[in-house]
Amino acid sequence: MAAGYRVAVVGATGAAGQATLKILEERKFPVAELRCFASERSIGKPVVFKGESLQIRRIEPAEFQGVDIAFGAAGAAQSRELAPMIVRAGAVLIDKSSAFRMDPGVPLVVPEINAHAAKKHAGILACPNCTTIVTVMPLKPLHDAARLRRVIATSYQAVSGAGVNGIEELRQQTLAWARGEALVARHFPYPIAFNLIPAIDRVGDNGYTGEEMKVVNEARKILEAPDLRLAATTVRVPVFTSHSVAVNAETESKVTVEQARELFARFPGLRLWDEPAENRYPMPILVEGQDDCFVGRIREDLSHPRALNFWVVGDQLRKGAATNAVQIAELLIR
């Protein structure tokens, strides 16, 4: 491997971990040495990076000595357990779980939006929820131009957001349907093939799911708008990859459709795809594999003079997780 940084990936065998390895290679991140970790049952299994087969290592303090940057692609409970050990070893942890996102001492970073926040880290930086990232990308240019007052976001979330089990569930149920067999739900509470599930996880006392409250709280932190009025609905849909979000955004001063198009077209990481008369608008099947978020269906809200409706789609395994994490690492080494 080329000269550069010692990098660790925790959770390297999962969907987010595999995407991280892929993005590190695609973006030519300067990796001098790569150490890969996963659960006990995965120790010794091979993962491939730049054509080289690497074995999964056992997670223990000595293994993180000398590591410069560690990517956390495991669950929140494991991240909370491992983070102190990783930081004590001298590494900077870029964590993709929900463990540290709302910790006031941990920057929650989307590089195109709040790169300045990364400078304030004390060894840990957090990646936002994948739905939050896709949602805030077009909100940021509107907020800078006209100050957001109120946002309603409804997301249509791909099964890969639930990891490899979600992907396999949709695949197996689709095959079962084609064979005329019953659709058996194992990972999701109901069959996901040819269905929509309007509560992605547990519903709280306020009637909102944890996923919905992540969008609300994380967006406020990223945009540095703690009083922003925002409500979210998250829906699981039978799509393999890429989350879609229908957004209604009210601003303090009016933004026309043409002004919004210009703002979106100029913003880094956003791609304008808005020619509905020619059936040209963002869709998961077109956005999968892309690092940019695509925005279209931009139109004035007929019920409010200072509000816009638009549709944004992003590959949640890439920009929603792995690409965003690698972009944070790029900020650090710059």
* Cβ neighbourhood burial of 28 (10 Å; 0-12, 13-18, 19+): exposed
Domains identified in the chain and CATH numbers: 5-128+321-333 (3.40.50.720), 132-316 (3.30.360.10)
Average pLDDT over residues 191-213: 96
Chain CA centroid to CA 243, Å: 9
Q: How do residues 264-277 score in pLDDT, each as one tens digit?
A: 999 999 999 999 99
Reported confidence tier of residue 1, pLDDT bands at 50, 70, 90: very low
Note the pLDDT of residue 15.
82
Catalytically annotated residues: 130, 243
Cα angle 255-291-299, degrees, rounded to a multiple of 5? 25
Under 8 Å between Cβ of 88 and 29: no
> By three-state DSSP, how is residue 256 classified?
coil
Question: Looking at residues 278-302, what average pLDDT do you find?
Answer: 97
pLDDT tens for 70-93 read 999 988 999 999 999 999 999 999
Mean pLDDT over each residue of the chain, to the nearest integer: 96
Segment 230-249, tens digit of pLDDT = 999 999 999 999 999 999 99
Q: Whose CA is closest to 151, among 227, 217, 297, 249? A: 249
Q: What is the mean pLDDT of residues 20-44?
A: 95
